[in-house]
């Protein structure tokens, strides 16, 4: 196997040494870690060129008094549509994403009328047609998106 060398400038030697110590303490090799890093970097850059971004969303309950319960989630995808409307006398915001793994992620935030509480929920489906309770704005925006359109291989 051919060996490849890389240059570490003098001002970064200390960082390189800490990197090497950390890797060796975990029983890994520098080349193995660098290869994994390069693969991840290439995948992220490829996704970025296709309009895919990293998103962070809160799922759970929070109130205006700063009380909250739930979890913070992270994923890669593309925002397709968003809308706000009223559902059962509560204000709801919806954002639809098309994920890196070709699934549809619907993020709903519902403000409970008079309670000062916001509930957020994530729904993931394989197809757009499986999603329910969509606001009209989501439907009209997605009619213009090629990510929602089913590709017919004819």
- pLDDT tens track of the chain, all 154 residues? 677 788 889 999 999 999 889 999 999 988 888 888 888 777 777 766 567 889 999 999 988 767 789 999 999 999 999 999 988 888 999 999 999 888 999 999 999 877 788 999 999 999 888 988 888 888 888 777 666 666 666 6
Give the burial class of 98: count Cβ atoms within 10 A of its Cβ; 0-12 exposed, 13-18 middle, 19 or more buried. buried
Residue-level pLDDT at 14: 93
Residue-level pLDDT at 151: 60
Residue-level pLDDT at 150: 63
Which tokens belong to 29? Answer: 């090799």
Which residues is 56 bridged to in the sheet?
A: 74
Residue-level pLDDT at 108: 96
Which tokens belong to 137? Answer: 């704005």
pTM of the model: 0.65
Residue-level pLDDT at 154: 64
């Amino acid at each position: 196997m051919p060996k490849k060398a890389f240059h570490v400038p003098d001002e970064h030697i200390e960082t390189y040494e800490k990197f090497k110590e950390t890797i060796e303490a975990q029983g890994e090799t520098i080349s193995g870690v660098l290869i994994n890093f390069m693969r991840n970097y290439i995948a992220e850059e490829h996704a970025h060129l296709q309009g895919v971004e990293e998103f962070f969303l809160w799922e759970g309950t929070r109130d205006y008094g700063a009380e909250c319960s739930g979890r913070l989630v992270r994923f890669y995808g593309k925002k397709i549509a968003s809308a706000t409307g009223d559902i059962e006398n509560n204000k709801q915001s919806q954002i639809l994403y098309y994920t890196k793994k070709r699934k549809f992620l619907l993020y709903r935030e519902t403000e409970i009328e008079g309670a000062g509480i916001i509930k957020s929920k994530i729904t993931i489906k394989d197809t757009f047609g499986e999603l329910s309770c969509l606001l009209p704005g989501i439907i009209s925006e997605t009619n213009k998106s090629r990510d929602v359109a089913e590709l017919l291989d004819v």
